[in-house]
A and B are shown apart, each in its own frame.
Chain A
Amino acid sequence: MDILDRRRVYIVPTRPGFALFGVIGLILIGATNYDNALAYILSFLLLGLMFSAMLRTWRNLKGIALDTEDAAPVHAGMPARFELSLTDASVLARYAFSFRRLLPRSQRFWWWRPQTEGFGECPTIEGGGALATLSVPTLHRGWLALGRVEMSSQFPLGVFRTWGYFKPPARCLVYPVAAGKLPLPGVTATAVDEAGSAGPGVDDFAGLRAYVAGDSLRSVHWKASARSDDLVVKQLQGGGHGDLWLRWVDTAALGGVEARISQLTRWVLEADRGGTPFGLQLPALELAPATGPAHRERCLRALALLPT
């Protein structure tokens, strides 16, 4: 648990804030020229308003604690969703927060904006706590350490922006992208082709199911898809005789390491959907054939953490 104490809450005027400073200056010049007492008063009133806005903006953030746990794994390209839990020991009602992830130092350059990514919002923290979700984009497989989270607010007037950093130890396991065109071992390429061109009547056709990321476009049943809102794919009856082995060496034709990992990922997802027990054989690791979500997660994890 990380609390923002007053030394770690930063505050600067926003663009509208600088503009308001400009307006105050203009009014003051006008007041001097016309020797107009109420114009003086208004400019001082607005100055006081900026003071008050500064303090209130700063107070809005001060003393908030943030805690988060590891996000559920996602495939690269999908946003990682960190559930932030905010605690506030005071009885203050606090409003309008946004969250961003600060890019790691290696990806940050002072002249290059933005230096943050992802976005999360929390409209209100009332009665001690609130929850918010920070979505962070993912690009690469492997661990994504959340790193520093910037929590900011411009409430109440938007003329000051206050922010502070949390460094929760949370991370997210990013699975590889499922991609690749190689057919699942044990299902021949011709079988897929026949199923795609010949249509009904072929014995291998076992039924229809919903499209899942990673399915080959060739297996989509276009006619059925046109009738429903979602894509529908043909399920083929392959394997079923003994165990299915997904082997690193079988993807040698693809060349690149990442392409091979993506292919294996797709295979894992397909095989898992098929329900056949499958095993995964990687350069330094072999997972015995099994079924079920836990086995699938184990395989995906092994693929995600495979050294490049």
Chain B
Amino acid sequence: MSTARTLTASDLWWCLGAVALALAPHAGRLPLALSLGVAACVSWRMLGALGRLPLPERHRPLLWWALQGLAVLTFVLIYAVYQGQLGRDAGVAMLSAMTGLKLLELRNGRDYYAVCLLTYFLVVTNFLFSQAIPTALYLLGVTMLTTSALVRVNAPARLPARACARLGAMMVLESLPLMAVCFVLFPRLPGPLWGVPTDSTQAVTGLSDEMSIGRIARLGTSDEVAFRVAFLDSTPSARDLYWRGPVLWATDGRTWRAGAIENTGAPPVVVEGRRLRYDILLEAHGERWLPALDAVTYSDAKSRAQRGRDLVATEPIKRQLRYRLESALDYRLPDLSPADRAAALALPKQDHPRSRALAARWMAQGLAPSQIVDAALVNFRQQAFSYTLTPPVLPNDPIDGFLFDTRQGFCEHFAAAFVVLMRAAGVPARVVTGYQGGEYNTMSDYFLVRQRDAHAWAEVYLETRGWVRVDPTGAVAPERVSLGINSFAGERGPLRMLDSAGFAARVFNGARQLWDSANYHWSNWVLGYSAERQRGLLEALGMEEVTPARLVLWLTSVMGALLGLLTLLLLRNRAVTRLPPALRIYGTFCERLARVGLPRSPSEGPLEYAERVAASRADLAAEVRAIAQAFAFIRYADAPTGLSALRARVHAFKPGRPT
């Protein structure tokens, strides 16, 4: 197509459709006025394609100047709205505005190409906001539509719309193998080139690195994914699945924090028994802690262990992170250092008088530390404590209020109260927050841990056994630990109903697992395909020493091979739009005759051609005439029969060179 070609209404529809669909997901992200403005531009041109409100051709220079002015004005406004922060959001706003204005001067082929290329670019801006599977599929469709729009403007007007759409989609599908090869082999450059603007990370939920009473309960109803874990060798039992997050030492009576004591690092661990290896795919949570099973003996993430053996990354987790860990479930620790002992016994001087009194009673009975732990758990069990996602508010002293008045709490109430009792009784103790349990995905063999699996428990130091995990929630509600939080989500009606195992429930659960499994692999292999993963994969495939130069070499050779393959496929002479079968068979027939030096001239009818061939090749005369007659009958008679006979005849027809 010449770039100066004027556009038809049908061309416009294709192009506008693609632009509108590429812009649609941005509509909610842009300032309302801008969204409306861009929508107005698209609608105007759509009306124009309907013949209602064409561009004012008579005032063309005027429109041109108006557009220039509008462009400058829009850019100034966007600059002002985003306060000069030219990051992702402002960039998308500018691009959308530019596209809208470009539509108003979409007149000839050149503009058309410009709009189509802009649309491809708009597609990619959507990925900065979401890389989920549905988004990707939707935008693949938009890419196909844009390609079809290019086909439309290059094809003759009589090619039907369906053929254009099919060709566009087919070409996109044809590019998938090359895309896959490039994706696997293209060398990944480390790090951002000019810095990722701060607005490109989303708001995230998750455990914070401190615990105030009532904080975790809010996560208790969140279905969001916290992380997924795949065990490499064997799976530990459900009661061992305590994913440790921040370990909290210091309290002011209300809030627990890691504490400002000098960090001496993790004490060395003596491993007893086997080690577990597992991969964690952690969703962004904006903090630095990394969930892990106790006690971590190896980590490939950029992280270090704190003195509570909790793992902390060097950078806040602002995007999905994948790391491999090795943990020993049975281990021994060195003796508690004096500084740590002091930190594990510290309590605010004046607070929790009733708790202190209870602890003093246990001490007066001369109980050993392990007996004190049991006494506290028995206390929880006997005193009608109950576990709930909606605990009553405790305005004054939350620990005493919970232990002696309301007796209803979430895991953090139990953990905090238990640790306070221990410390008051002289047993070193600390609060551990993290996640407990997880949903096993039977299809892809991994555990899915959601935000609502967030949990808090305690660890006490016993001279003979070292740090021991105690889960006071388990004393009150053992199902919470063995079955997970779903058994308590009484207020979450739908899921509750699903627990009653019916056929529909099982189907629904299966679908849910399948979907999460797809998401897991998507995150793991597509979104998380980094330089390290690339190296790992290629080394597993037998490439030694993965360097960028080698990658480029591989890439070019595989691309060359693919190009050759694609050429062969395309040269198989398959029609873009399929011809009627009789015509195709006749085409083969003519092709065979052309090869022996008797090509059909375009003006020749089948019978005429057959006579000419028969005149020059007596040996072929009978067969050629029969085929021509059969073909003519199928094509021109009212009853098209004999197609298979014609096909058989033509297939058997193998003219030799004239002797």
Measured CB to CB, the residues of A under 8 A from B are 1, 15-16, 19-20, 23, 26-27, 29-49, 51-53, 55-56, 59, 65, 67, 85-87, 89-93, 95-96, 98, 123-124, 126-131, 154-159
Q: Is the CB–CB distance between A93 and B147 below 8 Å?
A: no
* Segment at the interface with A among B28-36, B113-121, B467-475, B537-545: B113-121
CA distance A70 to B193 in the complex (A): 63
- Total A-B residue contacts, Cβ distance less than 8 Å: 199
Known A-B contacts A33-B192, A93-B575; A156 and B600 likewise in contact (beta carbons under 8 Å): no
A92 to B577, CA, bound (A): 8
A-B contact pairs, 16 of them (CB 8 A): A16-B117, A31-B124, A35-B319, A35-B530, A38-B526, A45-B175, A49-B147, A85-B603, A87-B602, A90-B573, A91-B575, A92-B576, A124-B158, A124-B159, A128-B587, A130-B602
CB distance from A117 to the nearest CB of B (A): 15
A231 to chain B, nearest CB (A): 33
Partner of B600, one of A41, A96, A128: A128
Q: A92, B575: Cβ atoms under 8 Å?
A: yes
Bound CA–CA A87/B150 (angstroms): 27
- Distance in angstroms between the alpha carbons of A56 and B179 in the assembled complex: 18
Taking a contact as CB atoms closer than 8 A, the residue among A26, A41, A55, A127 that contacts B566 in the complex is: A55
Residue of B nearest to A48 (CB): B175
Complex interface bits, B189-207 against A, C-beta within 8 A gives 1, otherwise 0: 1001111100010000000
B498 at the interface (CB under 8 A from A): no
A32 → B minimal CB distance (Å): 5
B587 neighbours in A (Cβ, 8 Å): 89-91, 127-128
Q: Which residues of B contact A159 (CB under 8 A)?
A: 150
On whether A33 and B193 interact (CB within 8 A), knowing A38-B131, A55-B567, A126-B579, the answer reads yes
A65 to B591, CA, bound (A): 13
Stretch at the interface among B166-174, B237-245, B271-279, B324-332: B166-174
Are B128 and A36 interface neighbours, CB within 8 A?
Answer: yes
Question: CA A128 – CA B579 in complex, angstroms?
Answer: 11
Q: Which residues of A contact B530 (CB under 8 A)?
A: 35
Q: Which residue of A lies closest to B184 (CB)?
A: A44
CB distance from B553 to the nearest CB of A (A): 18
B590 touches A154 (CB 8 A): no
Known: A128-B587, A158-B150. Is A47-B179 also a contact (CB below 8 A)? yes
How many Å from the CB of A221 to the closest CB on chain B?
Answer: 40
**Given A47-B179, A93-B576, A87 contacting B171 (CB threshold 8 A):** no
The size class of the interface chain B forms with chain A is 35 or more
Report which of B3, B186, B566, B590 forms a contact with A128, defined as CB distance below 8 A: B590
The answer to whether A91 and B573 touch across the interface, beta carbons within 8 angstroms, is yes
**Residue in contact with A39 in the complex, picked from B127, B178, B579, B590, CB distance below 8 Å:** B127
Given A15-B3, A123-B158, A156-B154: 12 more A-B contacts, CB < 8 Å: A16-B3, A30-B124, A32-B193, A41-B526, A42-B143, A52-B174, A55-B570, A86-B602, A91-B573, A98-B2, A155-B154, A155-B155
Chain B neighbourhood of A91, CB < 8 A: 573, 575, 579, 583-584, 587-588, 591
Q: Which residues of B line the A interface, CB within 8 A?
A: 1-3, 109-110, 113-114, 117, 120-121, 123-124, 127-128, 131, 136, 139, 143, 147, 150-151, 153-159, 167, 171-172, 174-179, 182-183, 186, 188-189, 192-196, 200, 319, 526-530, 563, 566-567, 570-571, 573-577, 579, 583-584, 587-588, 590-591, 594, 599-603
Contact assessment for A128 and B171 in the assembled complex, using a CB-CB cutoff below 8 Å: no
A42 to chain B minimum Cβ distance, whole angstroms, is 5
Give A30 to B167 CA distance when docked, in angstroms.
29
Determine whether the beta carbon of A89 is less than 8 Å from that of B128: no
When A29-B193, A33-B196 are in contact, do A38 and B527 touch as well, CB less than 8 Å? Answer: yes
Question: Which A residues are in CB contact (< 8 Å) with B182?
Answer: 44, 47-48
Q: CB distance B121 to A27 under 8 Å? A: yes
7 tightest CB-CB pairs across the interface, nearest first?
A48-B175, A129-B602, A123-B156, A48-B178, A91-B587, A44-B182, A16-B113
A16-B3, A48-B177, A128-B600 given; A90·B155 CB < 8 A? no
Contact A47–B178 (Cβ < 8 Å): yes
Q: Hey, which chain A residues are within 8 Å of B153, CB to CB?
A: 158
Give which listed residue, A38, A130, A157, contacts B154 with CB less than 8 A.
A157
Rounded to whole angstroms, the CA-CA distance of A88 and B158 in the bound complex is: 20
For A90, give the chain B residue with the smallest CB separation: B573
Q: How far, in whole Å, are A92 and B567 apart by their CA atoms in the complex?
A: 15
Closest Cβ–Cβ distance, residue A299 to chain B (whole Å): 33
Does B529 contact A37, Cβ atoms closer than 8 Å?
yes
Q: Which residues of B contact A53 (CB under 8 A)?
A: 171
A95 lies within 8 A of B147 (CB):
no
CB-CB nearest in chain A for B130? A38
Cβ B579 vs Cβ A124 within 8 A = no
Could you tell me if A59 and B571 are in contact, using CB atoms closer than 8 angstroms? yes
Chain A, residue nearest B197 (CB) = A34
Across-interface contacts of A86 in B (CB, < 8 A): 602
| CB–CB A96/B574 < 8 A | no
> Measured between alpha carbons, how far is A181 from B400 in the docked complex, in Å?
124
